[in-house]
Structure 1
């Protein structure tokens, strides 16, 4: 995907984990965030095209439809919420606490607005990276998802789905997190070129 190549891939290679939020333009670089829309200004069209955003909307819509069907929800009562972001994780040491992606967490507690979380994997476990598997933690036994490019995992974002990501030990793991809420006051619109 061009947004991944244009944002997450090309810039903060020195960080263990970096994210790109297309909605806000926030890109993690070192110990700070920069706004790529301000950084590139009118040259942002050299990084992203309207086709990139159309692809994002299509993928988001397809993920939303599958989540609604699986959980028996009315799709029109599910809303995209923030943050929704591309992530790049490698084996470089963490520079900040926010780079420590491997800690167990609950998305509803971490992000507040999340009711449903989805991850679309953009690279393959075992060939593009090692480590980096997604682990649902349960007292009856963990369940592990091995990322594959094009694979989507999704789940309700509450305490029933405590999870973590294993530390990446080699290579680079790419994914996009697309989150949804049932509360229209937390809704955001699809991103678009400024």
Structure 2
């Protein structure tokens, strides 16, 4: 009988744990509802602080069209989330002054009051389950009052909530002695490392091309443009700004034009050789233990259109990241289509500097605060990791023609550039083929 009683107590304990576990999952699901609603199509993360941000927009919109009662309701609802929000308090005072006499019954929206009461009740239960039952819960809301969170959990949760992808400590820049150890090309110098560029996984190297080699590649770009090779773009206008012309040439198109006699074979071969030169150096500097493959190589020239530069305010290339979709409003960068998510490192090898504007610049994730700027020159390579830690853009080219070799590298061999291999085959000398 004692054994039966012990067995019954054990089964009861298991039943209680099952019920508690089920209820915790229900509460977790309810807490995720707002996040699911706030996640835009094609995104992986919700718009942060969704409900308060919508209420702010609503009270401002109602005020603009003269619906002051609704403006008061919505701004009071904002204050339910953030009682000390100074802009909301100021707006409330302005609306009440315009309304004149106090209006009884004018308060926060009832649906918002009900939502907050229910949500706080759910949070209290979940935090209790975290503290006493070992349950997991990531609070999706920055407005949760500190009093709701058990003191033992507050510090850890605050750190988790404030963490962002770019907050992790960046890799330490490689010392110059290390770079000398992996230096593979005579004459290449380290001009700026990540620390000097105020970021992580960035470097500026000089001396990758001689002036003569820059001249050969510039002539290749010019000859290809005259032959009508503008790969990937219709017409002559840049896809990024109406004030510039954009010409692009891939390695395969260069090889095909060389085979047809439209451009010199020397330039097409040099394009292949230089792209491999950049890949080798990029791998040596950033990824010595993991092979990098070229995923795309593009010789691009941007030319200012005369007569269209007055009071110009746009960029030659807007701020972006190369393997994720940058959202400056949130500072997030989603590694998902339409971004080229397989790109791991990027490189820009410049061919000239006889133009106005056109400097490369890096920004913080807000796409506004410039952290570093690099002036193009013949043989200068700017290489960097392709993710959200390196948002970058190009200042407007206001005079002249700016040419550079843009290269992207990947760790994924299945995404290596097939056209590069095809171009190499096309450019083989007859005696090489016989051998």
**TM-score category, normalised to shorter length:** 0.7 to 0.9
* Matching residue within 358, 362, 374 for 1:136: 362
Kindly report which structure 2 residues correspond to 1:19-98, keeping only aligned pairs within 5 A, or say none.
19-23=247-251, 25=253, 37=256, 44-49=260-265, 51-74=266-289, 77-82=291-296, 84-92=297-305
Match of 1:118 in 2: 347
* 8 Å Cα contact 2:224/2:262 also seen in 1: no
- 1:5 counterpart = 2:222: yes
Question: In structure 1, how many angstroms separate the alpha carbons of the residues matched to 2:301 and 2:277?
Answer: 23
Structure 2: tracts of 5 or more residues without a match: 1-216, 238-243, 309-314, 325-338, 428-435
- 1:166 counterpart = 2:383: no
* 8 Å Cα contact 1:91/1:172 also seen in 2: yes
User: Which SS does the other structure have where 2:250 is aligned?
Assistant: coil
* 8 Å Cα contact 2:349/2:379 also seen in 1: yes
Give CA deviations for 1:60-108 in whole Å, capped at 9, x if unaligned. 2221121112113346x211102x2111112226xxxxxx742110011
Q: 1:53 to 1:43 in 2, by over 3 A?
A: closer
More strand by share: 1
How many residue pairs get aligned? The number is 171
**Is the radius of gyration larger for structure 1 or structure 2?**
2
User: Which SS does the other structure have where 1:158 is aligned?
Assistant: coil
Question: In structure 2, how many angstroms separate the alpha carbons of the residues matched to 1:9 and 1:3?
Answer: 10
Q: 1:81 to 1:167 in 2, by over 3 A?
A: same
TM-score by length of structure 1 reads 0.74
* 8 Å Cα contact 1:132/1:166 also seen in 2: yes
Offset, 1:134: 0.1
User: Which SS does the other structure have where 1:159 is aligned?
Assistant: coil
How big is the alpha-carbon RMSD for the aligned residues of Structure 1 and Structure 2? 3.0
Q: 1:85 to 1:8 in 2, by over 3 A?
A: farther
Q: 1:114 to 1:21 in 2, by over 3 A?
A: farther
